[in-house]
Structure formats: C-alpha cells, structure tokens
C-alpha cells in the first residue's frame, strides 16, 4: 500500500477560547481548544479544534520553517526540535533539548469537519488560507481574532487568554500576504499567491527535461518563473476578456488579478491628490557613447601603490565602466568590486583577511558535511536544499568547459559552496536561480573560499529577489515601468494597450541579471560593469530599457500582441550584443541626467544628485554618483514609486513621501 504524506503542523497553540455568547454573561461557556496552521497536500489550512477532539496518542513535531538547520544540528536524536529562543550559548545548549511538542491527530473526515453530535463541536472550524479575506485583531485585556472569509462568512472570535496571537500571525504571514487596512488599523487584509499564476510560471529557469516544481509557497521563484508558453497562456487569459466577450475586463477586475499575482502591490483605481504631475518631457538628444578596450594587467598595476592599496578608485571604476576588465585581471579585481577586499587594504591585510575568511568558511562547511544520513532524515529542509542544489548544479552551464563532463570538480565546488551558503544564511537557504549567480564567480575565482565570499557579497545585493514576498522584484518592475514611461511614452502606451504594461516579460532579466540572456563571456562583462555602481544607481534597469529600445520598432511595426511580445522577448536570448547594449544604456543615463526638469522619482531610482554634502569617506565619480565601496547594498534605503498603467495607478510611496503620476 502506498504511503501517504502526513500533514505538517507549522504552528499550534493551546489555550485558545471561543466565548459561546458574544456578550459577557455569567452563564456563557468558554470553549477551550487549540489553533493550528497545517500544510496538507500542498495546501495551507487554519484549524480550530476542541480539546475533546484531540488524541494525545499521536505525536507530530511541528515543521520548523525558520532556522531549521540550526535547531536540527544542535538537538538530540530523541528530541530533534526545540525553540530557537531557548538557545543560550554553546556551553548550555545541550541542557535545553528536552522539550517535546505534542500534536493531535487530524480528523479523518476531511479538512477539519466533525461528525460528532456534541453541540460543542459546532464551534470547530477549518479553512484554506486561500479563502481568507481579512482578519480583525482587537484587545480587551487579551487579544482576540475574527476571521472573515471571501464568501462573507464570519467565523467565531477566538480569544488568546494565554497570549500567542502575534506568533500565530507571524506564522500565517509565511503563507499569505497580510497588510493593514488603510481604513481600520484593527483590520488586516489578506491576499494569497495565485496558484494558476505560480503553475503557469514554472520552469523559466528549468530546462524542459527536468520536470516541474510543485509547491509555489516553498519556492516562489522557481514556480513564478515558468516557461514562457505557460506564462503567455495564463496572463493572456488573466488580463484579456474571454473570447466570447467583446469587451476588456474592467480596471477593478484587472486590479484584483494583479493583486493576487503579486501580493502587496497596491492598485488604486481613483486619481489621488498630492501627486507630482508630469507631462511629456523633452529629454533632449541622446549623446553618443564610445566604448574602450578592457583594463589590462599593466593598467591595473598602475593603480596600486607599493603596499598594494588601490589608488584613484573613481577613475579606475570609470575605466571598467567604459571597457570592462581583461580576463587576467578579473580574479583580483572582482574581489574589490564585490567588496570582499577593501579598496584601501594592503597586500598583508588582504592575506590576513583571506586566512580569517578561510577558517570561517570551512567551519560553516563542516556543519553540513558532518551531518549523518540518519540525522538528515529528520531535517526535511536540509534534504530539500540538498536535493534542489544537486538538481540545479547538474544543469548549470554544462556547455562551459569549466563545468562539462561527469565528476567535474567544478560541479563539486558549485555544490559545496551553495550548501555552505545555506549554513551562512539559514533564513534564505537555497532558491532556484542562485546557482546561476554563483557559476560565473566560481569560474573567475577558481577558488572555493574566494568564490564563496564574493558570492555572499553579490547575494547581499540580490537577496530581495529571492525572498518569499518578492519585494525586490515588485520594486524593480515598478521602477522599470517608471523609467520606460519617461523614456518612450508612445512605446509604453503600446505595451499597455497589449496588456503588457506590467513588464512581466522582464522578470527573468531582473531576477538573475541577464544570466540566461547573454553568452557566458558577455555576462562577465555586464556584471563587472554593474558592480562599479556607475554611471548611476540601478544601472541594470537602464540595460532593460536599452534592450527594449532596440526592439520597440519591430514590436510596434509588426503589431505584436501579448503572446507575440512574450515570445519575441524570450527569443532574444543569446542574440544580444553586449557592447551595443552597454553603450546605449550609458547614453540613456547621460540623456536622463541632462534633463533639467527630471522628475524626482526618476532621480531617486537612479540615485542622481540625491546627496548634496558628501562626507570625506565617500567617493565621487565623474557621473555625480556618491559611492561608499564598503556599504552593503542591503543596507540602502528601499525606493518605491508610482506609475500609471493606463487603467489605474500602481502606487508604492517613496521613503520621503514623494509620489508621481504621469499624464499621457
């Protein structure tokens, strides 16, 4: 008989009560029960059950989906899970491992329904998180929560007499997007990832021979980035009316659809006051930009003093922007560009740094290398990471000589670095697509430790792209739409007329920085140019604009529709000229910078003249960009912007409160 996969309890809390009477009265009953969140057959359920329904003979440890590797490696065999909060120090941690989590048996009747005749059981309920519309949270000595479903059903309020409401909501946020209602701070609006969207976006990073990823919420980036044919079919159905209808869907319906596709992207159908209104701008002529040859070994050496410090860094970065690096220089130069080495460090300081980083790396590597098979059987998260990494490594750049063939040492290093990164960043772990970012770095470094720390720095910049809430991708799509609309309003309006104004066809470009669009050597050139942080902030968005600028005439002349645009963009892969793209991207930047009435939102996106009094520690390039080489990109302020989509406004306010709207 085939084994069935048991449900995984990701949260449970006892001491949760329902008051049988909504008003305080002496004769009202307190219905005692437990609340839990369960992963069952790929679905996430919220269940409230009475304590009488529990069967204590069934013990099921809660699935830990945060820092599970830490908990697992530091626990005993008999008690593999314990709360992270109980970890005190290396000396005392083994004294804290005796806690056991008891979990009750789930009813066999279905998703939490009860066949009991006892009237008290009418208070039990269960629902899929996809059916949840809102949560009302109030406090009257203790917190209590009321669930409202999408069909209008309001479930009985559940009272947390012994606390636990915050932990419940934090756990629920891992499955759904929860935002505070603008009208009532006690109401939380719930939105879920669209299952159809996630299924339709499977395999953009997969080759056709390697199956599908089955759980969107477990790995949203794999499932979000599916094959373009599937993307086409779903989005065409989502944003166009059915064939039998002769009219387009109303803006409100399109807004609802987009809200489900990318939760957290607020869509307002009405004009709002306080916008910076911008009409068509005359950007002036686009200047010609000449590229130069790559920085040679001799040129690189001229920028080092006798002790190895890099001098005149801004000018050196300008040279890299204009021509990149010759391959012989990359192994050393990338360590500076990726902030592994400080620009002002000496040879001796760098040797000490490498020694320290080597020790740190192998301590982390030992953590997963020393795990036994028996231990790994009790850590599903580590098993999932290992399985996904092994699958991805076996198909990453296999046509490159560095990774081709069986038992290639390059593949072993790729695997080991990614597994060690899971130890470095427990929260993120491994998400499909990260192997694409590591591969060129390892190819250049040819050293496991150096490649790891350079990859860590790159992931600091790219981290939000791979987080479950997709905040980095949402922000970049909004910013790209803002820039494209400024640069070519007619083309943007054409895309909008074809239901392509959301620019989802650029998703893969942004996610892994054009890794699948360019030849391998061209990826190296593009990345080292982008790592200079010149000629502006978010230069990769202008690279997108440059590619679209080269293709716009063909798209418009041939009257491409939604399907054809997606197909055309996908077929650009391996056909792009990197030098032409970089020249045009830099020219676009100069054109925008020369605009006297540049919208503030665009200046914010590109980081143009946003700081007027640089400190002595900052470096200023000829482009007016203030740079601090040692500042991690993850520490910078997030910028959110407003763009029009033709039907409504996509609104995410900036950190300084500035908003922008365009008038066609």
Quickly tell me which residue has 């409401």 as its tokens: 165
Summarize pLDDT for 305-354 with one digit per residue, the tens. 999 999 999 999 999 999 999 999 999 999 999 999 999 999 999 999 99
Q: How confident is the model at residue 206 (pLDDT cuts 50, 70, 90)?
A: very low
pLDDT above 60 for 624: no
Nearest to 427 by CA among 464, 378, 473, 402: 464
Q: State the Cα–Cα distance between residues 280 and 99, nearest whole angstrom.
A: 65
Overall pTM > 0.75? no
Residue 27: predicted pLDDT: 52
Q: State the Cα–Cα distance between residues 36 and 56, nearest whole angstrom.
A: 15
Residue 259: predicted pLDDT: 46
Residue 22: predicted pLDDT: 58
The neighbour count for residue 58, using CB atoms within 10 Å, is 12
**Contact 524/462 with Cβ under 8 angstroms?**
no
**Mean pLDDT taken over the chain:** 74
Residue 614: predicted pLDDT: 39
Summarize pLDDT for 35-92 with one digit per residue, the tens. 889 887 778 899 988 875 443 333 223 233 322 222 223 333 344 333 333 333 322 3
Summarize pLDDT for 579-611 with one digit per residue, the tens. 999 999 999 999 999 988 889 999 999 998 754
DSSP 195-240: HHHHHHTTBSSS-GGG-----TTTSHHHHHSB-HHHHHHHHHHHHS
Residue 4: predicted pLDDT: 54
Residue 510: predicted pLDDT: 95
Residue 53: predicted pLDDT: 43
Residue 648: predicted pLDDT: 36
Domains and CATH numbers, the chain: 8-21+28-52+122-191 (2.30.29.230), 326-465 (1.10.8.270)
Q: State the Cα–Cα distance between residues 478 and 643, nearest whole angstrom.
A: 7
Summarize pLDDT for 138-175 with one digit per residue, the tens. 887 788 899 999 888 899 888 887 788 888 998 888 88
Indicate the Cα dihedral angle 353, 354, 356, 361, nearest 10°: 140
The neighbour count for residue 331, using CB atoms within 10 Å, is 14
């Amino acid at each position: 008989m085939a084994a069935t996969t048991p449900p995984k309890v990701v949260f449970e809390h006892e001491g949760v009560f329902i008051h049988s009477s909504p008003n305080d009265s002496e004769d009202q009953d307190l219905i005692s029960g437990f609340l839990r969140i369960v992963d069952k057959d790929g679905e996430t359920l919220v269940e409230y059950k009475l304590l009488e329904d529990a069967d204590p003979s069934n013990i099921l440890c809660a699935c830990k989906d945060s820092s599970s590797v830490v908990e697992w490696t530091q626990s005993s065999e008999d008690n593999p899970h314990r709360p992270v909060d109980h970890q005190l120090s290396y000396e005392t941690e083994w004294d804290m491992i005796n806690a056991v989590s008891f979990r009750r048996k789930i009813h066999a009747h279905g998703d939490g329904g009860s066949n009991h005749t006892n009237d008290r059981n009418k208070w039990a309920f269960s629902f899929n998180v996809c059916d949840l519309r809102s949560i009302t949270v109030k406090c009257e000595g203790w917190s209590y929560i009321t669930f409202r479903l999408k069909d209008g059903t309001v479930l009985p309020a559940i009272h947390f007499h012994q606390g636990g409401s915050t932990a419940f909501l934090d756990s629920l946020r891992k499955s759904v997007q929860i935002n505070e209602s603008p009208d009532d701070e006690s109401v939380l609006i719930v939105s879920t990832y669209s299952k159809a969207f996630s299924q339709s976006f499977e395999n953009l990073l997969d080759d056709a021979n390697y199956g599908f990823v089955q759980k969107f919420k477990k790995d949203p980036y794999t499932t979000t980035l599916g094959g373009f044919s599937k993307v086409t079919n779903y989005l065409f159905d989502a944003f166009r009316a059915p064939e039998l209808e002769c009219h387009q869907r109303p803006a409100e319906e399109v807004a609802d659809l987009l809200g489900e596709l990318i939760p957290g992207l607020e869509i307002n159908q009405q004009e709002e006051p306080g916008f910076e209104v911008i009409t068509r701008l005359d950007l002036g002529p686009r200047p010609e930009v000449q590229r130069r040859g790559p920085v040679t070994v001799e040129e690189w050496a001229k920028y080092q003093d006798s002790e190895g410090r890099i001098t005149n860094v801004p000018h050196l970065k300008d040279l890299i922007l204009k021509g990149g690096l010759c391959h012989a220089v990359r192994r050393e130069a990338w360590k500076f560009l990726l902030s592994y080495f400080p620009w002002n460090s000496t040879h001796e300081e760098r040797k000490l740094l490498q020694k320290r980083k080597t020790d740190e790396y192998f301590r982390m590597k030992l953590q997963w290398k020393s795990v036994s098979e028996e231990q790994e059987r009790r850590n599903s998260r580590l098993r999932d990471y290992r399985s996904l990494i092994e699958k991805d490594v076996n198909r990453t750049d296999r046509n490159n000589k560095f990774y081709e063939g069986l038992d290639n040492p390059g593949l072993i290093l790729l695997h080991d670095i990614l597994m060690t990164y899971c130890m470095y960043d427990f929260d993120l772990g491994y998400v499909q697509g990260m192997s694409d970012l590591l591969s060129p770095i390892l190819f250049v470094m040819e050293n496991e430790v150096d490649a790891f720390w350079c990859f860590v720095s790159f992931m600091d910049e790219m981290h939000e792209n791979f987080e479950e809430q997709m905040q980095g991708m949402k922000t970049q799509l909004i910013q790209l739409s803002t820039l494209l609309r400024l640069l070519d309003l007619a083309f943007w309006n054409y895309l909008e007329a074809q239901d392509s104004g959301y620019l989802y066809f650029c998703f893969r470009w942004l996610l892994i920085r054009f890794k699948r669009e360019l030849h391998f050597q061209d990826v190296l050139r593009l990345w080292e140019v982008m790592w200079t942080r010149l000629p502006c902030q978010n230069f990769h968005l202008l690279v997108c604009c440059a590619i679209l600028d080269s293709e716009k005439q063909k798209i418009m002349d041939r009257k491409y529709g939604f399907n054809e645009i997606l197909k055309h963009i996908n077929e650009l892969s391996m056909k792009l000229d990197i030098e032409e793209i970089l020249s045009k991207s830099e020219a676009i930047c100069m054109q925008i910078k020369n605009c006297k009435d540049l919208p503030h939102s665009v200046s914010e996106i590109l980081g143009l003249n946003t700081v007027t009094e640089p400190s002595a520690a900052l470096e200023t390039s000829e482009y007016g960009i203030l740079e601090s080489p040692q500042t991690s990109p993850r520490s910078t302020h997030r910028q959110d912007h407003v763009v029009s989509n033709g039907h409504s406004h996509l609104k995410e306010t900036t950190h300084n409160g500035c908003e922008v709207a365009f008038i066609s």
